[in-house]
Structure 1
Amino acid sequence: MKGFFEDTINDILDHIKTLLEKYPNVNHILLVGGYGECFLLQEAIRRKFRNKTLIVPQDCGLAVVKGAVLFGHNPETISERILRYSYFSNTRRKFDPCIHDIKRREVSDFGDETCKGTVTKIITAGTTIVSKGLEIEKGMSALRKDSKHISYKIYYSEENDLLYNDSEDCKPFGTIRVPLAGDEEKKKRCKVVFTFGLTSIQLKVRNSAGEEVERSFDLLE
């Protein structure tokens, strides 16, 4: 009968080992969820990680459900979150021949040398976010004089430093389309405000005429 549990227990042990290699300062393992009540799993963890303290709370099988109910009644029950991913935007970087592929070089209508397909980091993975949220403000401008709209795209990655949006580690997260306003002889700019916190990312973009577009990106989808 014990053999029925071997594969899943070994998978869990391997996953814990990977996490502990990434976070070596962790000294306690908290075991919750229905499988957490399994004596075989508890003993396997104790044998494998003898230098760690294993905590199995009372009614550990209900811990996840209780947590969800508490969070539903009061979202500030969770005081802080740590971002799993880094987030980037499609804001172009100034072309640098020492870094960028010459084939990606483009010149805007205003004479600026930019690199096509680059991304700019918004926030880094591992950042601690309080439940009330963290606001980050960025700017963006159109590359063409006749642009009527601008598409602001967001990407995410487990990597902290990315150069191009078509790299394997760069994944699309969401897009917001914003109407532009202003004189065609000047750069049409907009202000972008991100709010990280709770279970979504709030995005508000305002153009030079004061028009605003808002969108919420659900992190649980």
Structure 2
Amino acid sequence: MIAFESRKRAAAPDRTNPLNITLPFSFIDYYKKFRGHSVEHALRKSNVDFVKWSSQGMLRMSPDAMNALFKPTIDSIIEHLRDLFQKPEVSTVKFLFLVGGFAEAPLLQQAVQAAFGDKCRIIIPQDVGLTILKGAVLFGLDPAVIKVRRSPLTYGVGVLNRYVEGKHPPEKLLVKDGTRWCTDVFDKFIAADQSVALGELVKRSYTPAKPSQLVIVINVYSSERDNVSFITDPGVRKCGTLRLDLTGTGGTAPARREIQTLMQFGDTEIKAMAVDVATSKSVKVGIDFLNY
């Protein structure tokens, strides 16, 4: 992978000579052990003509093959940048910095220059490949160095709201104990691409559907879109659950039970908490993107 990373950065649109990529001995040995023949044999038997095996024991890729390999990635980067430049808050940007290891590749540099060179100045700093590493080290030494982040997703919780005729779809209507509810409502806490300060706290207050409830379950959801109305909308996924015990009021439950739900943003982890105001009981959860 190290050899391939090096060749990736050396790929250029005007390159004419092929690129040689050294394969790790462990890979060559593994392939021969489990496939019964060598990598060289496999390449010679294949119909692929843009990747060959050199006499020095390396993969030899033609410049056209390397360019074609990264074209989908570069096209996606250019398309994403075009979408960003359509937003009013970045439409007047005069400087565009390329950072990260791939920024060293002339393929990407020339594509960005061709697409946006007339809009802003393209700057490629020295040691551009170490930029991400330096940022990670600085953040590790002082997490407060990053004051504001942009939320990559929209976050909210699923709730019941009073059903409003003409506003809510009929299929979301739920009638319980004579009360008409709209189910699966996505109550937004923060929108995708919204700026959030370090430790920013968003609070909402809810009331259980029935005062006699003994437990309340609040599910946390996320979406790449910012115009989400219901938790059943396409692209909405559950990423956390808050389960709060509502017992222990010491007598008759209050007529209106207040449950405060808080979400903290801006750090490397998003935290959610629910608090029963009547008993001060609370439950916390970290947003988990792996197990949902």
Q: Letter of the aligned partner of 1:216 in structure 2?
A: G
Are the equivalent residues in 1 in contact too, given 2:242–2:273 (CA < 8 A)? no
Aligned equivalent of 1:212: 282
Say if 2:162 is the partner of 1:94.
yes
Q: How does 1:5-44 map to 2 (within 5 A)?
A: 5-24=67-86, 25=91, 26-44=93-111
Q: How does 1:145-164 map to 2 (within 5 A)?
A: 145-164=211-230
Structure 2 counterpart SS, 1:118: strand
Are the equivalent residues in 1 in contact too, given 2:78–2:115 (CA < 8 A)? no
Q: Of 58, 63, 67, which residue of structure 2 is paired with 1:2?
A: 63
Change (3 A) 1:21 1:162: closer
Q: Letter of the aligned partner of 1:196 in structure 2?
A: F
Structure 2 counterpart SS, 1:43: helix
Deviation at 1:180, TM superposition (A): 0.9
Deviation at 1:184, TM superposition (A): 4.7
- My pick for the range that moved more, 49-58 or 211-220, is 211-220
- My pick for the range that moved more, 51-60 or 7-16, is 7-16
Change (3 A) 1:117 1:40: closer
Measured on the aligned residues, the alpha-carbon RMSD in Å equals 2.4
Give the length in aligned residue pairs: 219
Provide the C-alpha distance between the structure 2 equivalents of 1:40 and 1:121, rounded to a whole number of angstroms.
Answer: 40
Are the equivalent residues in 1 in contact too, given 2:186–2:228 (CA < 8 A)? yes
Identity %: 25
Gaps of 5+ in 2: 1-61
Deviation at 1:152, TM superposition (A): 0.9
Are the equivalent residues in 2 in contact too, given 1:9–1:41 (CA < 8 A)? no
Q: How does 1:168-179 map to 2 (within 5 A)?
A: 168-179=234-245
Deviation at 1:168, TM superposition (A): 1.0
Provide the C-alpha distance between the structure 1 equivalents of 2:127 and 2:84, rounded to a whole number of angstroms.
Answer: 29
Provide the C-alpha distance between the structure 2 equivalents of 1:54 and 1:10, rounded to a whole number of angstroms.
Answer: 21
Are the equivalent residues in 1 in contact too, given 2:262–2:272 (CA < 8 A)? yes
Q: Of 167, 172, 195, which residue of structure 1 is paired with 2:264?
A: 195
Q: What TM-score results when the alignment is normalised by the length of structure 2? A: 0.67
